[in-house]
Amino acid sequence: MTEARNPAIEIALLGDDGAAPASAPVNAGVEDRVAAAAASADAGKTNIFDFDRARLERFFEEDLGEKKFRAHQVMKWIHHRYATDFADMTDLGKALRAKLEERAVVRAPQVVFDKASTDGTHKWLLGMDAKNAIETVYIPDKGRGTLCVSSQVGCALNCGFCSTATQGFNRNLSTAEIIGQVWVAARHLGNVPHQQRRLTNVVMMGMGEPLANFDNVVRAMSIMRDDLGYGLANKRVTLSTAGMVPQIDRLAQESDVSLAVSLHAPFDELRTRLMPINKKYPLAELMDACVRYALRKKGESVTFEYTLMQGVNDQPEHARALIGLLRDFDRRVQMKGAAKINLIPFNPFPGTGFQRPSDEAIRAFQKHLNNAGMIAPVRRTRGDDIDAACGQLKGQVMDRTRRSAEHRKRLHAAGAGDAA
């Protein structure tokens, strides 16, 4: 396992009990001064990471009085060659470089630390500001490399089986903070778009609900798919949502990426208990929106994610109801296999009340779907030795809700009970 820390960031990494672990160096005075100096130097400057191609072209033409092809050159320097210093952009004239130094900055997220798993998975903790950090995970597998990207600091949706939910919510990430995750990983991997592609897929399945941060996420996904950015095909960028129905419809109009839906239950009562958002957008409304999304383009499918929890949603009656839901989706879209299903064994985290089903129970549930003619792969758990598996992502959140405090209280109560 490798671990690299950036001393120029002032985040204190907290354990589940709210205390800083022994491995987290705290030198707040020095770090405060370094962070303050960096912020002062960049004050009033435009972070170019925030711009997709269209906005960067406008910035060059309207703010800098330059030709828009110069914006294209800068995009390539940033996203293909990983340059953050305008002085290194040698095909720009000295006058333009000086102008950029005065008006703009290329500010990537700070790497607080990174960890490598024994299975090749890699996790980064990235500092977003003085008090908040998020996690990003790279998963290599048989000729493809998938990056799991976060969209918020924490999450406001409070799904009961997700570790991120226990930390509460602070804020949305900016476009720069979202695409910056891709930049950090791509640079680390030595990714060269269109040549040496180590990063082949991006999934918006990290911390947060992407559709609750719609504009910034859509802009970041545009850079991911731009040839001047990371050059990913539309189908290789996937947005995963808990089911924000109006935003699914808006996404169909404003972007062209793959859609994944966190389903996790085939009954409204159970899904509402697991995912409070279901009370606002129940299954019938959610499935209607998914049908509309699939129908916007011939041959389009939607992936449904289903986390299996022991004794909660893994019984034969759940499998039968799920089959009915997916068959109805296929019928309405008029395409067999339009509904794809991924089965995800629950990944435990401290303080959870849920358990992973046995391997036999997982196979039995899968067999029900297979017997109904459905392909239902069970997602292989990756990175669980570094808490990077699905549902385990947990950065550092300065919580604006009471959920993190309530979770710590439950952990303390459980610890006291164990001791007794």
Please check whether residue 153 is in contact with residue 207, taking contact to mean a CB–CB distance below 8 angstroms: yes
Which pLDDT score, from 0 to 100, does residue 15 have? 38
Q: For position 127, what pLDDT does the model report?
A: 93
The mean pLDDT value for 10-22 works out to: 36
Domains delineated in the chain: 44-105 (1.10.150.530), 110-411 (3.20.20.70)
Partnered with residue 262 across adjacent β-strands are 305
Cα distances (angstroms) measured from residue 27 to each of 34, 40, 102, 260: 11, 20, 32, 42
Confidence of residue 99 (pLDDT cuts 50, 70, 90): very high
pTM across the whole model: 0.85
Structure tokens given for 57 = 């072209």
pLDDT of residue 75: 98
What is the rounded average pLDDT of the residues 12-34? 39
- pLDDT, average across residues 143-147: 93
Of 32-36, 109-113, 348-352, highest mean pLDDT: 109-113
- Give CA–CA dist 223/255, Å, rounded: 12
For the CA atoms of the chain, what is the radius of gyration? 22
> For residue 397, what pLDDT is reported?
67
Please report the DSSP string for 209-272 in residue order: -GGGGHHHHHHHHHHHHSTTTT---GGGEEEEES--HHHHHHHHHH---EEEEE---SSHHHHH
CB-based burial label for 395 (10 Å; 0-12, 13-18, 19+): buried
Strand-pair partners of 133: 127, 396
Closest-CA residue to 393 (of 153, 116, 181, 188): 153
Angle at CA of residue 59, ends 55 and 62, nearest 5°: 125
Of the candidates 66, 135, 177, 209, the residue annotated as catalytic is 135
Q: In whole angstroms, give the CA distance from residue 217 to residue 222.
A: 9
Structure tokens of 205?
């399945």
Active site residue 135: yes
Mean pLDDT throughout 57-62? 98
Task: State what percent of residues in the chain have pLDDT above 90.
Answer: 70
Query: pLDDT tens, 329-355?
Result: 999 999 999 999 999 999 888 888 899
Give the pLDDT score at 195: 80
Tokens of 319: 């499998």
Highest mean pLDDT among 124-128, 196-200, 240-244: 240-244
C-alpha to C-alpha distance for 152 and 173, rounded to whole angstroms: 5
290 an active-site residue?
A: no
Region 72-94: mean pLDDT is 97
pLDDT at residue 392 in the model: 44
Q: What pLDDT band is residue 8 in, cutting at 50, 70 and 90? A: very low
Q: Is the pLDDT of residue 18 over 80?
A: no
Burial per residue of 128-137, b for 16 or more beta-carbon CB atoms within 10 angstroms, e otherwise: bbeebbbbbb
